[in-house]
Amino acid sequence: MKTMKSLSTSLFALGLATLSATAADPATALWFSTPATKFEQSLPLGNGRMGAMIFGGVDEERIVLNESSLWSGSPDDNDRADAFQALPEIRRLLAEGKNPEAADHVMKNFTCQGAGSGHGNGANVPFGCYQTLGNLRLKFGDAPDAPSSRCASGHHALSADQEVEFATDGSVATKWCIIHEGKPVVWEMDAGKVAVRPTTYRLTSAEDVPGRDPRTWKLEGSVDGKAWMTLDEHQDEPVFAQRNETRSYAIAHPASSRFLRFTFLPNPGVTHFQVAEIAIDGVTSKPATTMAKAKNYSRILDLVTAAGEVAYEENGVRFQRTHFISAPDQVFVSRLTADRPGSLSFKVALDRKERFQTVAVNDRELLMTGTLNDGRGGKGVSYAGRLRVLAKGGTVKADANRLIIEKADEVVLLFAAATDYRGFAGRQLSDPVGATRTDLDKAAKKSYAKLRAAQKVDHEKWFNRVALNLSNGPASPNAALPMAQRLAGFAKGASDPELAALYFNFGRYLLISSSRPGGLPANLQGIWAEEIQTPWNGDWHLDINVQMNYWPAQVGNLSELQEPLNQLIASLVAPGRKTAKAYYNSRGWVAHVITNPWGFTAPGEHASWGATTGGSAWLCEHLWTQYAYTGDRKFLAWAYPILKECALFYLDNIWEEPEHHWLVTGPSNSPENSFKLPDGRTAQVCMGPTIDMQQLRELFGNTARAAEILGVDDELRRELTQKRARLAPNQIGPDGRLQEWLQPYPEPEPHHRHVSPLYGLHPYDEITPTGTPELALAARKLLEGRGDEGTGWSLAWKINFWARLGDGDRAYKLLQMLLRPVSGSAMNYMGGGGSSDNLFCFHPPFQIDGNFGGCAGIAEMLLQSPGAATPVIHLLPALPAAWPSGSFRGLRAQGGIEVDLTWQDGQAVSATLKGVNDGPASIIPPKGQSVASVMLKGKRAPGTLNRDGSAIIQMKRGQTYIVRFK
C-alpha cells in the first residue's frame, strides 16, 4: 500500500497540499478539494440498512439519507390465473418460426396481471419503487434559507435530471419535464423565513417540443401556506416562438407572501409539460456558492475506516466534520468541531420531496415521519427518521420544525431511521417511531469515541480481509489529484495504478456498506438514492443486475455478505411456485426479469423483455457459488431444496424443438435483445436462447452435484444428467461468432449492451480458452462484434469476459472505459457508461451494478477459480502490462482457500495459500511460468508438480502453504 509520505510529497510537488489530504492513501481514499454540488459527487456511507451521502457544503451541509426498506407499493397478485392455457399455442407458433405472432399471444395472455413495473416508473403502482428517505440539512452562519421548490401535484420526472429543481437551477440548458396525466401541474415554493412581495416573474421555454410550453396558468401567494390569493393569471398564451426563450410578466396583484405557487393547466393533445426556468424576481436564485469564504477545504471518504471527513478554514477557524454510520449501534453519527471555542452555529432540518412531516419533539430532537403510497392510493410503508443534537457549550433550541444551535464548541448529531416494512428481511417492526427513539437512547449512552471505535472495529473486520497493491513504486502524480481531476487525467492516459486499486477497494467497501446479514440485498442503487422515483424503480433486476452486485462477494472474501441475496432467493420460492402453476401448470418455482420486496415473480409487462425465463436459474448460480467458495455443507443442505425446485420448474418446461430435437425453453428472450427473421420482421420472443441453455446446463449440473454431495435424490440426479445432455448446445454461426439464438439471426442492434450468450464464459465457465478453444474463439469474435462501448454494467461485464479469455490488456482497456468521467444522468441505453466524480458507476444514470462488476473484474484479472471437482487456483490469468508489479492478500478461491500473491516485472514471485477445508487444490501458474515448489512448515508439501508447470497439493485446513514460481 502507498505510504502517506509518498502521497504528501507528490501533493506538495503539485502545489495542491491540504492538511487532511496528505493523510489520504490514493488506493483507499477518495478526496475532493470542493464540496459536492451534485449527488454523484457526494460521499456514500452505509451500514447495510441505512445510507448517507455527504455533500460537505460550507454554508449548507446536505446529507441525503436512505433506509433500505423504504419501498412504496405493496404485495399484489400479479399472476394471470389461467395463463398456462396459452402456452401450447405460443410454443406452436415459436416452433413454426412465427415469433411475432407468438409475441402477440404473450402480450395478450402471458404477461403479468396489472401494471407490472409501471414501465420502470412504479412509484405509484403496487410494484412500487425504492425511495429516498430525505435530506438532513445543516445551515451554517447567517446565510438566508435557500428558497425550496417542489411539485405539489406529485408529478415525477421520468429521469432524475428533469425533476422540479431543474426549473430553478439558473440554467436554461436543463429543464423540468413530466407527464401531466391530464392533471393540473402545481409548482410551489417556500421563499424562506421572510415574506416577499415580487412584482415580476419570468418563464423560459425548454429546448424542444413547443406543445409542452406553459400556456394557461395562475400564480398565487400565501403567508401561511394555507390561504392563497391569486396574484396573476394567463390563459391560452401562444406557445413560445423560440426554444429557450425567456418571457417576463408583470404581476397583476402583488401581495406579501412567503409561499408562492403556479398552477399550470395541461395543454390538450400533448402528454408532457415542461419548462426550462421559472424565476420569480427577487425570490428564486441560483444556489449560493458555498466556497466563498472557505480556505484549505478537503472532503475525504476513507474506505478503511468508513468515514466521510470534511475540513476547512473560515475566518481563521478550522472546522472539521466526521460522518459515519454504525452497524453495531444502528445510527448515523456526525461530529462537528472547530479549533476556536463557541464557533459552531447552525440550523438543523430534515426534509423530503413529498409525504413527510418534520416536528421538533423537544429542544434537541427532530422527528420526520411519513407514509408511502401502497400503489393503490392507500397507505403503504411508514417510516420515521429521528435526529438528536448533543452539544458541548452554546445553546440548542427548537424553532418550529428545526433546531438551532448557537455558539457550541462541539456538536454530535445522532440520526436513527426505521420503517414498518415486513417481509423476507429487515427489522420487521410495527412501531418505527418508537424504534428510532430506542436506537437513539441506546446510542446516546455511549461517548462519541466509543461509537466510533465500535463502528471502526466492525467495518475493518470486513474491509481488512483483503488488500491490493497494484504498484510497488511511489504513488503516481495523478494519484495525488482530487477525484474529478484524477479521473480526467487517467482518461487522458496518465499512469495511476492506484486508481484501479481504489476502484477495487471501493467495490468491496460498497458491498460492506449496502448488504449485511439480516437485511435486504443491494438494489440497483445499492442503498443510495436521492429520488422518489428511482431509475428502473431501484429494484432487483434478475437478468444480470442484482447478480452482478454480488460478483465480488466470494472472491472478495465477503461471503457472509451474500446472505441478503440468498434470503431474497429463498423468499421467491413461494410466490414463484404460484407463478409456475399459473403460467406453466408445472412444478417448481420461477422468477422472470424483475422482482421487489413484495415477491414479484410474474413475467414483466412487455413481451419484448418480460418473457425472459432465466431469472431464477441465474439466481441459483449464487447459491451454488456460495457453497463452492466456502465448502459449507450446512449451507448446501439449506440451499438444496431451492435449487431442486428451481430445476424441477425447468425440467417440466423444456420441450423438444422440431428441427434438431433439442430440449429448449420458450417462450423466452435473450435478455432485452432482438433479432431479424428471414422475412425481415423484428422479434424478441424466442425459444432456446443460448443463455437459457447455458444457465440450465449450469443449474442441472450444480443441482446434480449438490444431490450427490448430500447423498439424496438419485433418480432426479439421473434425470438432470440425461436432460442436460439433450439441451440445445452452444453453436457457432457462419460468421464464426457464438450464436445468440437457435438460428444465426441478424441483429438490428449489433452493439447491444447485453452480451447474453457469453454467460457461458462468465459468470459460468463452460467456455474456457483451454477447455473449449473453439468456443472461446467464437466468444472472442462475438465480443469483437459487439464492440467495447457500453453502458456502465456492460463495460464491467466485458472486463470479466476479457479476463476469462486471458487478455489482460483488453480487460484493462475496458476498465479504463469504466473509469472515464461521465456526467449527466439522462438515461442512455446505447453506451456512454463510466464513472462519476465519486466513482459511482454511471449506466447512465447512476446504477451500482457496474461498481461491483468492475471490482470483480479486477479480481478476475489477478485470480480465477473456475468450477471443478478440485478447487483450481489460477494465478495472474490476465495481468495487464499496466500493472507489472504488485501484490494482493486475502482473495478467495473455491474451496474456501485464501490466496496471497506477490509479482514483480510481470512474473509471480511467491504465493501463500490457506484453506478452511481438507482436500486437494490445483495451482495454475501465470502463463510462461511453472510452480517451482510448494512448502508447508519449511518442508515440501504433499502433492505433485506436473509437467505442464501446474501443481496439485493436498491441503489441510488451517495450514499455510508457500508456493514459489520459476
Positions touching ligand FUC (CB under 6 A) are 524, 536, 541, 545, 672, 753-754, 791, 793, 829, 843, 847
Q: Cβ atoms within 10 A of the Cβ of 809, count?
A: 12
Strand partners, 898: 892, 914
Nearer Cβ to ligand FUC, position 34 or 596? Answer: 596
- CB-CB contact of 887 with 912 (8 Å): no
Beta carbon nearer to ligand FUC, 635 or 829? 829
Nearer to ligand FUC, 98 or 843 (CB): 843
**Least distance CB 833 / ligand FUC (angstroms):** 9
- Of the chain, the end-to-end C-alpha distance in Å amounts to 25
- Of 804 and 843, which CB lies nearer to ligand FUC in the complex structure? 843
Q: d(Cα 819, Cα 96) in Å, to the nearest integer?
A: 46
* CB 829 to ligand FUC: min, Å: 6
Could you tell me the three cell numbers for 347?
A: 440550523
Looking at the Cβ atoms of 513 and 612, the one nearer to ligand FUC is: 612
3-state DSSP of 160-218: HHHCHHHHCCCCCCCCEEEECCCCCEEEEEECCCCCECCCEEEEECCCCCHHHCCCCEE
Which C-beta is closer to ligand FUC: that of 106 or that of 899? 106
Q: Which is nearer to ligand FUC, 257 or 537 (CB)?
A: 537
The least distance separating ligand FUC from the CB of residue 537, rounded to whole angstroms, comes to 9
CA distances from 919 to 701, 816, 957 (A): 21, 39, 8
Longest dimension (CA), the chain: 94
Tell me how far, at minimum, the Cβ of 116 lies from ligand FUC, in Å: 13
The residue among 219 and 546 lying less far from ligand FUC, judged by its C-beta, is 546
Give the nearer residue to ligand FUC in terms of CB position, either 245 or 789. 789
Of all residues in the shown chain, the one whose CB is closest to ligand FUC is: 536
Q: Please state the closest distance from residue 752 (CB atom) to ligand FUC, in A.
A: 9
Cell representation of residue 214:
406553459
Shortest Cβ 456–ligand FUC spacing (Å): 34
Closest approach of ligand FUC to the CB of residue 793, in Å: 6
Measured from the CB atom, is 80 or 753 closer to ligand FUC? 753
Q: Between the CA of residue 394 and those of 143, 341, 343, 350, what are the distances in Å? A: 19, 9, 9, 22
856, 896, 879: which is closest to 965 by C-alpha?
Answer: 879
Least CB distance from residue 266 to ligand FUC, whole Å? Answer: 30
Of 780 and 843, nearer to ligand FUC (C-beta) is 843
Report CA Rg, the chain.
29
**In sequence order, which residues have a C-beta less than 8 Å from that of residue 193 and are 6 or more positions away?**
144, 145, 258
CA–CA dist 668, 110 (Å, integer): 11
Nearest to 924 by CA among 891, 869, 887, 963: 963
Spatial contact of 641 and 647, defined as CB atoms under 8 Å apart = no
Cell numbers at 106, concatenated: 404473450
Kindly state the smallest distance separating residue 544's Cβ from ligand FUC, in Å.
7
CB of 372 to ligand FUC, least distance (A): 21
User: Minimal distance in Å, beta carbon 671 to ligand FUC?
Assistant: 7
Which DSSP string do the residues of 549-560 spell out, in sequence order? HTHHHHHTT-GG
Interatomic CA distance for residues 65 and 44, integer angstroms: 10
3-state secondary structure of 798: helix
